Amino acid sequence: MTDSPAEKKKIVLSGIQPSGVFTIGNYLGAIKNWAEIQEQYDCVFMVANLHATTVRQDPAALRKNTIDGFAMLLAAGVDPKRSIVFIQSHNPHHTQLMWALNCFTQFGELSRMTQFKDKSARYADNINAGLFTYPTLMAADILLYQADLVPVGADQKQHVELARDIVNRMNGVYGNLFTLPDCLFPKAGAKIMSLADPTKKMSKSDANPKSFVAVLDPKDTVIKKFRSAVTDSGSGIYRAPGKEGIGNLMTIYSAFTGKTDEEITAEFDGKGYGDFKTAVGETVADALAPIRERFAEISADKAYLRACWESGCEAAQRLSGRTLNKVYKKVGFLP
């Protein structure tokens, strides 16, 4: 009796925008998970610099942030030998497929996107067409690589649902063009809130630098930020309504140590908020130290960085080109 062939790994596609420094929220919610799932899946990861331009960018800053973002992925454990890692704008197939998908995406679907409504309110002086249609570009990102799974937070679920609608629509017309993607939700506790306002998600674009901890912040800065984190006026390290600040710190401490809420509460029994904040700060700073060191090494080796993103782009184009050619042929474009 012969052994059955090994089951084909599922394909995962994900990207992160180079819109500034990466926070521990980005690290815990995305990048750390990317590094961990490389064994289980065939992974395609990108620095999504096309998506970043729906908001006006300084060109020099965008270039620097793109390079830093790519280096950060490698420093945090994304392996260019095991995964396809590339810069989105290096592969023109994304925008080429987007046009075909635009013609199968309804105006009403795009106008209902929650993030379009939110960003239109936030950037009322620049409600551009890219802001309106970028969910279709996101669908192109996913469908080009025939991705089975897309790691997302709850705020991105709507975009994967739109991609699924487009797949069903186009597959219904042309046959089996695309794989139907599903969401891959992160493990519970990955949502990190602002240190200055624990009712808001931690964001690298927050105007208050004390609200977030950047992966590249020096150790003293990390500890100082945690010591100044907003908490309630009570005592005791446990989760409860009104103790959102302490709850957020517990989530962060748990994410870096693997300890449960019960273990954390027991560890800090009889200790004050100051002791807990300092412990969280020191734990996070020590955990980030190897990433900071590796980032400095990788960033200094320009030739290595360029070689990685060039080989990543070649691998991405080999995969995406097959999908694009199939779609263009079915739609009726001349080869």
Indicate which residues carry an active-site annotation. Answer: 119, 201, 204
Which residues, in sequence order, are CB contacts of 255 under 8 Å at separation 6+? 28, 189, 190, 192
| Angle value at C-alpha 242, between 241 and 246, nearest 5 degrees | 95
CB 22 within 8 A of CB 31: yes
Residue whose pair of structure tokens reads 């995305």 in the numeric block: 30
Tokens linked to 19: 């819109």
- Residue 87: count other Cβ atoms within 10 Å of its Cβ: 22
Tokens linked to 245: 């600040």
- Torsion angle defined by CA atoms of residues 27, 208, 49 and 131, in that order, rounded to the nearest 10 degrees: 120
Distance CA 80, CA 61 (A): 25
CB 27 within 8 A of CB 205: no
Q: Do you know the residue count of the chain?
A: 335
Distance CA 319, CA 323 (A): 7
Tokens linked to 150: 């897309």
Tokens linked to 324: 């694009």
For the chain, the 3-state helix, strand and coil shares in percent, each to the nearest 5, are 55, 10, 35
